[in-house]
Structure 1
Amino acid sequence: MKEQFLLREDITFLNFGSFGASPKPIFEAYQRFQRELEYEPVQFIVNRGPEYLKESRIRLGEYVNCHPDDVVYVPNPTYGVNMVARALDLKPGDEVLSTNIEYGACDRTWDFYCAEKGANYVKQPIRLPLTSKEAFLADFWSGFSPKTKLVFLSQITSATGLILPVKEICEEAKRRGVPVFIDGAHVPGHLPLDLTALDVDFYTGACHKWMLTPKGSSFLFVKRDFQNALDPLVVSWGYQADFPSHSQFQDYHQFNGTRDFSAYLTIPEAIDFMKVNDWWSWAETNRKLVHTWLPRLCTLVGSAPLAPVTDEFIGQMGSIPVRCKDPFELKNLLYEEFRIEIPVMVQNGQSYVRFSINAFNDEQDLVKLEQALKELLSRGLIY
């Protein structure tokens, strides 16, 4: 499987979670679309492109089980969060309920729009390590109030790599009459995703992470009840369209002027690649490797996993809490000296070394990480 990817052979790549990596067949499909664009830009963008996008959305809709008209493509999940946050009709004193373990760019987005509208972004503290699903839900819902107008949280968190019980969150939010927005950046291709069964109001996911497509390829799902309330983030030809389609949602958000949307068109190729290579079997193998090594590496540095090491909470990413003088220096050392590409993240004052495992990784990659951490411990750079 390693030969299927373009990744450098001299680097131990344990950072799939940040930007993913495309296998060669998917990247070649990407370049074919780019060449077609350059051969005849006008015909590609104006005539063939919309049909290509529709075909791609149909395949994506089948993959995540939703109607293709209910998703629009966006460059990244943060863009999708901005679309919803800007359009949401928040009033002074209203609250958006989230957690204190969300992705930093999304935190900044909600901080910005809530401040602009006089609303409050509530980052409900979550006690770590998690002990149970019930304990998490109790922590989370203790932040709810009559002023809560939206629930926003990750299905898989970024810094801590935890899988959160979003199905239960959606069910309880519906009982309380509050819409839910799930940041699923790490989910497509990592966990099975059924948007119809989840019954979520807003959902954004990255295809360029675990789903293997080239960079700048993500989607935003919006339930029909909310679609017409979303103004375009970028006003362009779809607004008051000369030739409106059957969907204002598509018109407003899918065409924002000249850009290379080839990455979106590779989604069918990615779905086919995963099917041919039995990707869910690889995912299970990858999870087992994470589940074996996460406790071992935590013990090495004198910490503990952030949740029970089971499929319920831990997927193909493991975050190791570490104590270090300078997390940025630590990341640079792991890359420059040990040739390991791995993030060192800081959240709520705690540093984490987060490793990701995909089909091209093997146990030797984690042995290299273990040896590097031992060397850094001996130097007092982690302690």
Structure 2
Amino acid sequence: MTTNFADYFLLQEGLTFLNHGSFGSCPKPVFQNYQDWQLRLENQPVAFLDQERDLITNLSKPREALAKEFNTSAQNLVRVTNATTGLNAIARSIALAEGDEILTTDHEYAAVENTWEFLVRKVGAKIVRAQVTLPLASEDVFFEDLVSQMSKRTKILLLSHITSPTALRFPIKRVIDEARKRGIITVIDGAHAPGLIDLDLDALGADFYVGNCHKWLLAPKGAGFLWAHPNWHQKLEPLVISHGWNVKDRKEDRTAFLDSFEIQGTQDPSAWLAVPAALEFRKTHNWAEVSKACNQRAQELAQRVAAFTKLPSLSTPEFCAPQMVAMPVPKTDPRKLKAFLLNERKVEIPVFSWQDQTIVRVSIAAYNSQKDADNLLAALQIYFADSTSNTR
């Protein structure tokens, strides 16, 4: 990367920000577009939010842009605040009964687990967590890990496309196909996937897919999408029943699915409306090459950390998320390590316990330099050298 992309972002000076995978950072031109939309809203709020005037046309453009990016129809996508919101709408729309099972893995995002746990407790259903064999190095082994846990009671298959705690890229296509053969509903949590990996939503063949635009797609916070197979459009219920739920004289290009999710009264959709600007920024700067360089830097850093810690990786590079690596470090109190990294070394990065391991998850974005990677490694070396000396 010859362009100094740090100049395009608004990150705090002096901070080593290695957590793009959680919330991302929005480039200045995209953020300006976002603020322009907000200004238009304040200039004429009634016209902006009136579905008979500007709103429908404005909201359709991001859907159309994302549909083109992800090889699907714009009629299959609706705006949601984030992936978790979309998953909540899906979960509330599927009738569960006592004895039903939701098959997932031991790598899922806590908020998503909470969503389904909340629902299964009400009806006496059950969550089955398949243990994924680590290191993840074989699609065949992953397939068997999941299929071996399928039963006649399995109603839903819930999978991350890219896992949050472990930054693994699950090979989900074959498992989705098997679930479909068995009549199992497939729900894919793609929170980290848009902008990080190529997506072909129609070819993937799931029943549902949710994603965030505020991570690797570079859009502002509050822009996500819910994709649903057309068979589900009439069955999905929005979390909020508002003006769009029972539209009279619906326009020819509109559906109940689109209206019930998009027409939600007084909401600021500016983050969603800035999605086309984010896509254009990526296109202008040849983002595939930028991502490739970032991924190489992430993998090199992971190798250096592993050489220092002597701990095995969670996967082979093939199954690791591009630009994002979860790195086991010697077991310690994650709160203390995180506080040390942030307060004493100015490094912002997720640190947490997972499966009785301490994990540091690094994200390498366009604005991250080799110096950022060096800063993290040096900080880890200092912390654990001090730990072995019983000073921490």
Measured against the shorter chain, the TM-score band is over 0.9
Is 1:197 the counterpart of 2:213? The answer is no
- For structure 1, the residue ranges without an aligned partner over 5 or more in a row are none
Instruction: Report the 3-state secondary structure (helix = DSSP H, G, I; strand = E; otherwise coil) of the residue aligned with 1:110.
Output: helix
Superposed CA offset, 1:321-365 (max 9, x none): 123331012111101100011010222332210000111112221
Distance (Å, rounded) in 1 between the aligned partners of 2:206 and 2:389: 41
1:283 pairs with one of 291, 300, 307 = 291
Please tell me whether the aligned partners of residues 146 and 175 of structure 2 are also in contact (alpha carbons under 8 angstroms).
no
Superposed CA offset, 1:107-142 (max 9, x none): 000101111222111111122222322111111221
| Structure 1 partner of 2:59 | 53
Distance (Å, rounded) in 1 between the aligned partners of 2:45 and 2:259: 21
CA RMSD in angstroms comes to 1.5
Give the aligned residue type for 2:28. K
| Structure 1 partner of 2:363 | 356
Superposed CA offset, 1:220-249 (max 9, x none): 000010111112211111122244343110
Distance (Å, rounded) in 2 between the aligned partners of 1:6 and 1:247: 39
Instruction: Report the 3-state secondary structure (helix = DSSP H, G, I; strand = E; otherwise coil) of the residue aligned with 1:50.
Output: helix
| Structure 1 partner of 2:300 | 292
| Structure 1 partner of 2:23 | 19
| Structure 1 partner of 2:151 | 145
TM-score (ref. length: structure 1):
0.96
2:38 pairs with one of 34, 39, 55 = 34
Distance (Å, rounded) in 2 between the aligned partners of 1:111 and 1:343: 24
Distance (Å, rounded) in 2 between the aligned partners of 1:49 and 1:346: 44
| Structure 1 partner of 2:6 | 2
Q: How does 1:125-164 map to 2 (within 5 A)?
A: 125-164=131-170
Give the aligned residue type for 1:348. Q
2:375 pairs with one of 354, 359, 368 = 368
| Structure 1 partner of 2:328 | 321
Please tell me whether the aligned partners of residues 95 and 147 of structure 1 are also in contact (alpha carbons under 8 angstroms).
yes
1:9 Cα shift?
2.0
Distance (Å, rounded) in 1 between the aligned partners of 2:274 and 2:389: 42
Please tell me whether the aligned partners of residues 332 and 358 of structure 2 are also in contact (alpha carbons under 8 angstroms).
no
Distance (Å, rounded) in 2 between the aligned partners of 1:359 and 1:280: 11
Please tell me whether the aligned partners of residues 331 and 357 of structure 2 are also in contact (alpha carbons under 8 angstroms).
no
- For structure 2, the residue ranges without an aligned partner over 5 or more in a row are none
Is 1:223 the counterpart of 2:216? The answer is no
Give the aligned residue type for 2:312. A
Identity of aligned residues (%): 38
TM-score (ref. length: structure 2):
0.94
Q: How does 1:103-252 map to 2 (within 5 A)?
A: 103-245=109-251, 246-252=254-260
1:211 Cα shift?
0.2
Please tell me whether the aligned partners of residues 334 and 352 of structure 2 are also in contact (alpha carbons under 8 angstroms).
yes
Please tell me whether the aligned partners of residues 208 and 229 of structure 2 are also in contact (alpha carbons under 8 angstroms).
yes
Give the aligned residue type for 2:118. F
Distance (Å, rounded) in 1 between the aligned partners of 2:214 and 2:16: 20
**Larger displacement relative to structure 2 (271-280 or 325-334):** 325-334
Instruction: Report the 3-state secondary structure (helix = DSSP H, G, I; strand = E; otherwise coil) of the residue aligned with 1:209.
Output: coil
Distance (Å, rounded) in 2 between the aligned partners of 1:81 and 1:324: 33
Classify 1:121/1:361 alpha carbon distance in 2 versus 1 (closer, same or farther; 3 Å): same
> What count of residue pairs does the alignment treat as equivalent?
382
Give the aligned residue type for 1:334. L
Please tell me whether the aligned partners of residues 323 and 351 of structure 1 are also in contact (alpha carbons under 8 angstroms).
yes
Please tell me whether the aligned partners of residues 204 and 218 of structure 1 are also in contact (alpha carbons under 8 angstroms).
yes
Instruction: Report the 3-state secondary structure (helix = DSSP H, G, I; strand = E; otherwise coil) of the residue aligned with 1:182.
Output: strand
Is 1:257 the counterpart of 2:261? The answer is no
Distance (Å, rounded) in 1 between the aligned partners of 2:180 and 2:266: 39
Instruction: Report the 3-state secondary structure (helix = DSSP H, G, I; strand = E; otherwise coil) of the residue aligned with 2:362.
Output: strand
1:98 Cα shift?
0.5
Give the aligned residue type for 1:103. Y
